[in-house]
Amino acid sequence: MTARTDDHMTIRQMCDAFEVTPRTLRFYEAKELISPLREGARRLYTRRDRARLKLILRGKRFGFSLEDIRQTLDLYDRQGTNLPQMEHTFALACERLAIMEAQRAELDEAIAELKTELAAGATLIAEVKRGGTAAA
């Protein structure tokens, strides 16, 4: 029974939970995307690490690079007492939002096109099935 002591998870528990390899987690750590605690040499992943990893994997699915993702991760856990820093972060987030909304618009368009194509395909298949190989 691989229990989850307190709030921390081992690397293997993380791998099972997120379907990634240990190598991937260590790689992300090397790239400073996550920064788990240490119990001796072992890594211990906290709630924060899990939240970040979730965002990382999501970002990847949207086609962002790890570097892109790294820069936007800070948007989600502000530690800022620093005003100019906060404003910069805010501006960055706005840009990011604009990008994602544009992406959404394009995605909708692509989906619509594909649906059209699908409908045409279905019709065509039905015709072929009914009329054999004969074309009008």
**Residues forming the site for a copy of itself (CB under 8 A):** 58, 60-64, 75-76, 78, 80-81, 83, 86-87, 89-90, 93-94, 96-97, 100-101, 103-104, 106-108, 110-111, 114-115, 117-118, 121-122, 124-125, 128-129, 133, 135
What torsion, rounded to 10 degrees, do the Cα atoms 128, 129, 131, 136 define? -10
- The one-letter amino acid at 122: A
24 binds, among DNA, a copy of itself, none (CB under 5 to 8 A by kind): DNA
- Smallest gap, in angstroms, from Cβ of residue 113 to a copy of itself? 8
Q: Are 35 and 29 in contact (CB under 8 A)?
A: yes
87 binds, among DNA, a copy of itself, none (CB under 5 to 8 A by kind): a copy of itself
98 binds, among a copy of itself, DNA, none (CB under 5 to 8 A by kind): none
SS (H, E, C) the chain: CCCCCCCCECHHHHHHHHCCCHHHHHHHHHCCCCCCEEECCEEEECHHHHHHHHHHHHHHHCCCCHHHHHHHHCCCCCCCCCHHHHHHHHHHHHHHHHHHHHHHHHHHHHHHHHHHHHHHHHHHHHHHHHHCCCCC
Report the residue from 23, 61, 129, 130 that binds DNA according to the rule CB under 7 A: 23
54 binds, among DNA, a copy of itself, none (CB under 5 to 8 A by kind): none
The structure tokens listed for 80 are 């800022």
Which is nearer to a copy of itself, 37 or 102 (by Cβ)?
A: 102
- List contacts with DNA (CB under 7 A): 10-13, 21-24, 26-27, 31, 40-43, 60, 65-67
